[in-house]
Structure 1
Amino acid sequence: MSLISLLMLTDSRLPAGTHAHSGGLEAAVAAGRVAEAVDLHAFLLGRLTTTGPTGAAFSAAALEAASGPDDALLAELDAEYEARTPSPAQRRASRKLGRQLLRAVRAGWPGPALAAASVVHPDGPHQPIAFGAACAAAGVSPHDSALASALGAVTGPANAATRLLGIDPDTVTAVLAALEPHIQDTADAALKAALGPVSEFPSFSALRLDISAEHHSTWEVRLFAS
């Protein structure tokens, strides 16, 4: 059942709001940094090796905390993830996605794990915390939670690429397939990190994404929320 649940949680048809976010790709396209498939590969690999390990480690740890549930640890994880997200625009986007994810998952897997995650912050949990709690509620393993989180770091922007670049969806699929070993390595490293102290979880910088997110949030016309 956990595999079926995992597939449902990672299905783009889950109304979790990710379709409205480009993960910074819209700003990168507007700046001329991403224009074709080779640029998209580089952009996604950059996200995967910076924000990817952080989100995956926190998702795996949140799964364990929500399984208790351990309210204090969930709150600590949320606060530590906040500290690793310097961009206010990205913080807002992450919490919005967290709220939407919990709302969607309650319909299929209601339980104490989701309730515990929903109260870690007045504005709702960050997305990785919410995803970990969702995986706990659905019976997904920590390894699969980390793997799905790492995959999600690239699939959201990849889906946005078809609208932003007018790129052939088959080409996007080829780019994602080429990233498969990197996704696996990211998940493995994140799961290992999640076994240590929270203060030592991954904290890699993606300064261009942070700066671009702030600029993007001021645009009057945009296709994506982030």
Structure 2
Amino acid sequence: MATLSTLLILADSRLPTGGHVHSGGVEEAVTSRVVVDLETLEAYLRRRIRTSGLVTASVAAAVHREDLTVADADAETDARTPSPAARQASRAQGRGLLRLARRVWPAVEQDWDWDSLGPRPHLAVTAGRVGAVSGLDPHQSALSLVYTTMTGTATAAQRLLALDPADVAALTFGLASLCEDTAALAAAGLADLSDPLLDEFAQRHAQRERPLFVS
């Protein structure tokens, strides 16, 4: 099915949106010895999925359904992202996805165009609009973001800790049901959870000299 293929492509880590240079805070978590092995990585991924993953996905689903205007979605995302560094990372990834969207869907038959998102939209805002244009439903838009929240961080941790890729893949398979449940919750309405530890990691990372990842 075309819709399933679109979902798989959007969730692919090879998608040229710049996401591969962001670790979701796990570089700082590794440096701080909070994440040191598979067990602690799993705990970190669960935190990411249930907080920032849920919030980002919920905004994307609301944009997809047109429950929020672009301006309102941008403001809601800012309000739900206490860390300035995390907000900057979100906008960088949003701009990367927007650049790709212009190439893939250059002419959309709607009453708006890609310029309406502004030059530096949050990732959630761009993802919600992309989901609607590409034919996904709001739950699928949410699921794509939850999934990439998990896999982007997991892949970064694999590289930083020199973990066995098969072990990390098995770990992500084990979190599949949590991703599905979180996406369903995100599609049901706006979430407003935050995690002070993840915010702290984002800020520390922004001040670190010569990090491997942008965030």
Q: Would the TM-score normalized by the shorter structure come out above 0.5?
A: yes
Question: Of residues 107, 112, 117 in structure 1, which corresponds to 2:103?
Answer: 107
- Extract structure 1 runs of 4+ deviating beyond 6 A: none
* CA deviations over 1:16-68 (Å, ceiling 9, x no partner): 10100000000000000001000100000011111121111111111122xxx
* Partner residue, 1:207: 196
1:46 matched to which residue of 2? Answer: 47
> Are 2:81 and 2:194, in contact at CA under 8 Å, matched by a contact in 1?
no
Please list every run of 5 or more consecutive structure 2 residues that lacks an aligned counterpart in the other structure.
none
Match of 2:136 among 109, 117, 140: 140
Tell me if the contact between 2:13 and 2:148 (Cα under 8 Å) persists in the aligned partners. no
Structure 1 counterpart of 2:102, one-letter code:
R
1:125 is aligned to 121
Residue of structure 2 equivalent to 1:5:
6
Equivalent position of 2:80 in the other structure:
84
Q: Does 1:182 align with 2:178?
A: yes
The code of the aligned residue for 1:213 comes to A
User: Paired residue for 1:196?
Assistant: none
Task: Report the CA distance shift for 1:21/1:118 in structure 2 as closer, same or farther (over 3 A).
Answer: farther
Kept after mapping to 1: 8 A contact 2:117/2:126: no
Once residues 215 and 151 of structure 1 are traced to their aligned partners in structure 2, the CA distance between those partners, rounded to angstroms, is: 25
Q: Is 2:22 aligned against 1:26?
A: no
Measured in 2, the distance between the counterparts of 1:23 and 1:118 equals 27
CA contact (8 A) 2:102 2:114 kept: no
**Which residue in the other structure is 2:15 paired with?**
14
CA–CA distance in 2 between the matches of 1:23 and 1:32? 16
Post-superposition CA distance 1:117-154 (Å, at most 9, x none): 54444x51100111111111211111111111111111
CA contact under 8 A between 1:117 and 1:125: conserved in structure 2? no
Q: 2: distance between equivalents of 1:132 and 1:158?
A: 23
Q: CA RMSD in A?
A: 1.8
